[in-house]
Amino acid sequence: MDSKNGQYLTLPTTKQVAEIYAEINTTEDKIDKDVELLLEWVRKQPHMPNLDDEKKKVKSFLIGCKNSLERTKEMLDNHYTLRALFTKYFIENDLENSAIIKLSKYRVITPLPMITKEGNRVIIDHFKSEIYDCDIVVTMKVLLMSIDIRMSKLDIFKKDIYILDMKYHRLSLLLECLPHMNEMSLCLNNAFPLRTHEFHILNAPNFIGKYINILRTKFNKIISQRLYIHENIDKLKDYIDPEILPINYGGTFPKTSEELMDEWKNEVLKNFDWVLRHNKLKVNESKRLKKSNITLENMDGSFRKLEID
């Protein structure tokens, strides 16, 4: 827990935030003015929900879109369009707080508390044992809810670094994902302006080739330059400061990934009322002046890939 802000996530320092802004050619003052411009644009779009209470989210989207107003407008439109199209992936029932409780019993998917010197956030993903009953839809609900809480409420970051430990992954799990893959790809690639810096795989199974081939169809071609498969955990320390990594992944952060998942679960549950309120915000297609590029009919079409830079 971050003693400075009472939250699980330690935020970037003032200097790190300034560096994040400088990289995308903006400042604190300018980005605040641009957020107001974006909110004014939203108010003029009859199909869009009211986002006046979501300045933090709009700001995070602007940072993720590298300070492009037009790209941010597109991403915000996509975000609330996908909420309307794929309601099954967005929690709306107050009983569904059980989703993260259920998932946390057999799986860890959590951001790590400390941020890198560059301002990147590390996410770790692994099953706790070989015994699990994985529900793909529940997993997506938790994943999207966690991303949303980070970007809208709790986090400031430049890019994501993703660690996937496949020690207990089964080929059957990959096959179960395939019917949902296009929808999942749309939501992850188009609902949030995520920028992935690196993707690390540990304990690669013998079907890793199939997994990577699927990844490459969903990411742009640069993924092959940023995807690392490690023979052992120690290799992670060549890329990520050990102070950030939990003790069961060769780091010196004084908790295990499972303990951190428990803390993140509690942080998500503390913000669950906000999730329920916010997930009611969607586009109203009957009021849209210009047809959306994202529909159920063209979901296999040409969409922006998850940005790797």
- What the chain holds in terms of domains, given with CATH numbers, is 9-309 (3.40.525.10)
pLDDT for position 199? 92
The structure tokens listed for 48 are: 């869009």
Tell me the C-alpha distance between 203 and 233, whole Å.
9
pLDDT along the chain (309 residues), means of 10: 64 94 95 98 96 96 96 96 91 74 94 96 96 89 94 94 94 87 84 91 91 72 75 90 96 97 95 91 91 57 40
Q: Is the dihedral of CA 255, 260, 262, 264 positive or negative?
A: positive
The pLDDT of residue 96: 61
Residue-level pLDDT at 232: 85
Nearest CA to 79 out of 107, 106, 51 is that of 51
Among 91, 78, 39, residue whose Cα is nearest residue 279:
91
pLDDT, position 176:
87
Neighbours of 287 (CB within 10 A): 10
* pLDDT value, residue 219: 60
Kindly report the backbone phi and psi dihedral angles of residue 251, in degrees, each rounded to the nearest multiple of 5, phi listed first.
-95, 180
Cα distances from 153 to residues 45, 54, 145, 276, in angstroms, run 24, 9, 11, 14
- Residue 24: predicted pLDDT: 95
Structure tokens at 137: 């839809």
Phi and psi of 104, rounded to 5°?
-65, -15
Structure confidence at residue 220 (pLDDT): 56
Answer for the pair 161, 129: CB distance below 8 angstroms, yes or no: no
pTM over 0.75: yes
